[in-house]
């Protein structure tokens, strides 16, 4: 004899559904403390971005700030340095990029780059090397004042992190 399929859940179905729901709630309440622990705490979130007062960075000066555990160089480039960079032929570089593509319009003097050599991760020295940019003492990579690689084993320019000008004096990195 054929049984009638009914959309109404039987009493037994209801029991299964109810047990399943309790199970799901149980899992959720057990899982939450673990998930919550995985969320970054307020101090870690604060480090996700760093605000830098650049009014204290004199022309020609480089400061190093920490962002997400890495050094970031903020360099206030002089008009002479900008002139030299503009005159450079960059097509032959390993990682060709114009200086204009690495800075914010209207704030061309300020360069913000992650201070980690793209070869094996040493921290390059500022105002050093053939181009008075950065020199990596580990294996001799030479960067210019735009953080672009000119010589040595590093394959790429010093990376430009995400950043924005909150005002003429404050840069937010991250
Ligand atoms: S880590 Fe900089 S040149 Fe090797």
Render pLDDT for 139-174 as a digit per residue (tens, 0 to 9).
999 999 999 999 999 999 999 999 999 999 999 999
Please tell me the total number of residues recorded for the chain in this structure: 174
pLDDT digits (tens, 9 = 90+) for 130-139: 999 999 999 9
Q: How far is the CA of 54 from the centre of ligand 1 (A)?
A: 28
**What is the model's pLDDT at position 47?**
64
Structure-model confidence comparison of residues 6 and 130, the more confident one: 130
**What is the model's pLDDT at position 5?**
45
Question: CA-to-CA distance for 100 and 86, rounded, in angstroms?
Answer: 9
Question: CA-to-CA distance for 148 and 98, rounded, in angstroms?
Answer: 9
* Substitution site in 133, 143, 154 for ligand 1 pocket (most atoms within 8 Å of beta carbon): 154
Dihedral sign for Cα 101, 103, 108, 111, please: negative
Q: How far is the CA of 142 from the centre of ligand 1 (A)?
A: 9
**What is the model's pLDDT at position 34?**
42
Annotation marks residue 127 as catalytic = no
- Reference 103, options 63, 139, 73, 146; nearest CA is 146
Output the pTM of the full model: 0.75
**What is the model's pLDDT at position 171?**
98
- Let me know: does 136 contact 152? Beta carbons within 8 Å: yes
- Reference 93, options 39, 171, 157, 137; nearest CA is 157
Residue 26 pLDDT more than 70?
Answer: no
Rounded to the nearest 5°, which phi and psi values hold at 141? -80, 140
**What is the model's pLDDT at position 148?**
98
């Amino acid at each position: 004899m054929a049984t009638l399929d009914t959309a109404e859940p039987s009493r037994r179905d209801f029991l299964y559904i109810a047990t399943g729901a309790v199970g799901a709630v149980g899992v959720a309440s057990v899982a939450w403390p673990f998930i919550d622990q995985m969320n970054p705490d307020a101090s870690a979130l604060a480090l996700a971005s760093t605000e830098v007062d650049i009014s204290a960075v004199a022309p020609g000066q480089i400061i190093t700030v920490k962002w997400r555990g890495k050094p970031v160089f903020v360099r206030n480039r002089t008009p002479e340095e900008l002139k030299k960079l503009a005159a450079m032929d960059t097509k032959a570089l390993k990682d060709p990029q114009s200086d204009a593509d690495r800075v914010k319009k209207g704030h061309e003097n300020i360069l913000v780059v992650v201070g980690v050599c793209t070869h094996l991760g040493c921290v390059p020295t500022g105002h050093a090397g053939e181009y008075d940019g950065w020199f990596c003492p580990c294996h001799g990579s030479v960067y210019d004042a735009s953080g672009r690689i000119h010589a040595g084993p590093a394959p790429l320019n010093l990376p430009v992190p995400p950043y924005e000008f909150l005002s003429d004096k404050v840069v937010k990195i991250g």
